[in-house]
Amino acid sequence: MSNSSPTPPIDRLPRPDDFVDSRLVRLSRAVVVAPLRFLAFWTAVTLPFLYLPLLLGGLDGQQVTVFLTLLAVNAVTLVLGHEYGK
């Protein structure tokens, strides 16, 4: 037989500050994270269309840098926008 009480000990009860913090976290996710994921997702979808003129025209000199920069930005936006729509 156990000596556990039906109510949790006082030190395990959530503090009022915890509720405020969780609300702030949810609000910040709704205001900051959701639009960032939206923008990152659609940027990752549309960036490959910018590759086509570079690849069709051939990569030389400065265009290689632009292409590699586009690839890096696309990789970052893919990671940031991965959770969009879930």
- The pLDDT tens digits along the chain (86 residues) read 556 656 656 666 656 556 556 777 777 777 778 889 999 999 999 999 989 988 898 888 888 999 999 999 999 999 999 888 87
User: Torsion angle of alpha carbons 49, 54, 58, 64, nearest 10°?
Assistant: -130
Q: Give the CB-side neighbour count of residue 39, counting CA atoms within 13 A.
A: 7
pTM over 0.85: no
Question: Residue 45: what pLDDT?
Answer: 95
Question: Residue 78: what pLDDT?
Answer: 94
- Which two structure tokens, joined as six digits, stand for 77? 């936006």
Lookup result for tokens 């994921």? 37
- Which two structure tokens, joined as six digits, stand for 84? 């969009």
- Which two structure tokens, joined as six digits, stand for 53? 């003129």
Question: Residue 29: what pLDDT?
Answer: 72
Rounded CA-CA distance 36/15 in Å is 31
